[in-house]
Amino acid sequence: MGTNEDVLHSITINEILCSLKISADRLKAFISFSQLDKLTKENLESLNWINFDDQLCDWIEQFLDVEMVDDRSLKSAIDSLKQTLIKETKDSKIAERKISQGIAPTIPKDGKYILLVKPYTENFSGGYDLSNKFQKRFDSVLTNAPVIRVYPPKKGDPGKDVKGMSIPALEGNPCNLVIGEGLVEKKDSSKAYSELLANKDGYLKIDSSNNAIISDKIEIKSDIDHHTGSIDFSGSILIKGTVRPGFSVFANKEIEITEDVLDSSIKSIHGDIKIKGKVLGTDMLKDLNPVNFHEDDFRRIEVGNNFNCDELQSYAVFTKGNILVSKNVSRSMLCSAGGVIIEKSLFSSRVRTVCGLQVSTLGNDSEAPNLIEILSINEASREYLLAKEKLEKLIHQEGILNTFLGPYANDMSAIKKLSNIHRSKLEVTLKKLVDIKKLISLAQLELDNFSNDNKSTKSSNVNIIKLAYPGTIIRAENKEYFINELLKGPFTISYNFESKEFLKQDLLPLECIFNNK
């Protein structure tokens, strides 16, 4: 904006030294006066003040823009000079008076960015609402979602110095955000900002150097508990800890957990789930009957591909791929669109599989029951199971209402002969029965839809490596095979979907060969 020092101009008029100082930023100008020689009273009376004023103004106009000069301040300075000289004729001096003020450039606006999502900071300490287990500590970002809004720097307005010259507008500093991996900038001339879009699913991370990236892999080096909250992420997750009761972990891709899963919900839409520790839930079986297994929101694992864990107890697992359990499975339900391998024992459990089951020991010496169902692909899904359970509940309700109505269920004329009180009760119950029948038709239609484009294997095997205890039922279509005695392995019980028969034979490999139809 100019030199780093003030600029000083001076002139002598009528033995008065007139000094004009212009500040280094050229935005202020000051006038001061001092007498050079001793002036007598007679000398003062002979001074031509009109000539002094004219000469002074002509001189000032050489350095300042007239429009920028404050006439009142200049006149006040001259009047003060006169009064001082009259009162004291020796060494009279008038201190600096500001007579001109320029217009400074306005302060520019630096560029900035605004986060549209909550970034992942890897810090899970403090600030968590203990009453809310589902509070999220970061946002999961989907492809093409806007995550950051970037505003460019904005120039300030130009200024004007005391000479009337323009002072250039100041430039603002751009924001110091570095656009990194996984982000693309989208500009729109109709908007005062640009947006950074994610070009893949993941989370936003901004490091200490303001580098912004989208990452599709998250690593959490702690338990999933009240400090972290439940995790819902569009990428893959690695948890170096235990998932504590009541919390959930959801991901679009792979999930790996290095320790245990306790009474919690785990779901991967498209990837594998690998749990190196145990999967333990509160016991949900009544009378050790696997048919009575009851799943809920916090004892369920849903897998878009393959699943494996160390041990499984009191849990429901639904996979679109295979299941591998390194040790025991008890009081659980396994639903697999592939095959199931349990390297030790299976007891008091229900297995729903398309490609078969291989287990070292089936059941135990208490003859705890197991139910093994050989299914088509659609029947192995959780959606099919829920639709089937829904239909069964409606049919059960229909039976209760029919029992209550008795002979009146199909005899309206008999109902009309009853007294008002009894007739009214039966008519309400009859209306409920009609509604239930409609719901049964809809539920049956929903279940039948699973038969469309359905696929089954040519045959499915149940392989026993060591022992099979009594108490297990193997079911396929409308056929059942009962294990009523202790059987030593290795052997295979296979079901052929073409011949509709079970056959016990020497050990065969687990295969998944689908019918062409």
- What is the rounded distance in angstroms from the CA atom of residue 498 to the CA atom of residue 468? 26
- What is the rounded distance in angstroms from the CA atom of residue 63 to the CA atom of residue 26? 11
CA-wise closest residue to 461 among 494, 486, 490, 491: 494
The DSSP element (H or E) to which 370 belongs, if any, is strand 370-374
**Cβ contacts of residue 107 below 8 Å, gap of 6+?**
156, 170
The DSSP element (H or E) to which 465 belongs, if any, is strand 459-468
415: region left, alpha or beta (phi > 0 left; psi from -120 to 50 alpha): alpha
- What is the rounded distance in angstroms from the CA atom of residue 171 to the CA atom of residue 448? 69
Which pLDDT score is estimated for 45? 60
- What is the rounded distance in angstroms from the CA atom of residue 216 to the CA atom of residue 203? 6
Q: What is the distance in angstroms between the CA of the first residue and the CA of the last residue of the chain?
A: 84
Ramachandran angles phi, psi of 473, nearest 5°: -110, 130
User: Over its length of 517 residues, how does the chain's per-residue pLDDT go in tens digits?
Assistant: 445 788 999 998 877 889 999 999 999 999 998 876 665 556 666 667 778 888 999 999 999 999 999 999 998 888 888 777 766 545 567 778 999 999 999 999 999 999 999 998 877 665 555 555 556 778 888 899 999 999 999 999 999 999 999 999 999 999 989 999 999 999 998 999 999 999 999 999 998 889 999 999 999 999 998 888 888 888 899 999 999 998 999 999 999 999 999 999 999 999 999 999 999 988 655 544 555 555 566 789 999 999 999 999 999 999 989 999 999 999 999 999 889 999 999 999 999 998 899 999 999 988 888 999 998 777 777 777 778 888 888 998 888 888 888 887 777 777 777 777 787 888 888 888 889 989 998 888 887 777 665 666 777 899 999 999 999 999 998 899 999 999 998 999 999 888 889 999 999 988 877 665 4
Q: Which residues pair with 203 in a beta bridge?
A: 215
- What is the rounded distance in angstroms from the CA atom of residue 250 to the CA atom of residue 241? 16
In terms of residues, how long is the chain?
Answer: 517
Q: 3-state DSSP call for residue 186?
A: strand
CA-wise closest residue to 307 among 329, 265, 352, 338: 338
Strand order in the sheet with 183-187: 112-115, 146-151, 194-198, 183-187
For residue 8, what are the CA distances in angstroms to 18, 22, 54, 86, 272? Answer: 11, 6, 21, 27, 81
**133's tokens:** 């287990």
CA-wise closest residue to 461 among 506, 424, 418: 506
Ramachandran angles phi, psi of 405, nearest 5°: -75, -30
**426's tokens:** 């039966």
- What is the rounded distance in angstroms from the CA atom of residue 499 to the CA atom of residue 60? 116
- What is the rounded distance in angstroms from the CA atom of residue 225 to the CA atom of residue 261? 11
**333's tokens:** 């339900």
- Quote the DSSP letter at residue 427: H
- What is the rounded distance in angstroms from the CA atom of residue 54 to the CA atom of residue 49? 9
Pairing status of strand 472-476 against strand 491-496: unpaired
Which pLDDT score is estimated for 1? 45
Pairing status of strand 261-262 against strand 273-280: parallel
How far is C-alpha 145 from the geometric centre of its chain's CA atoms? 11
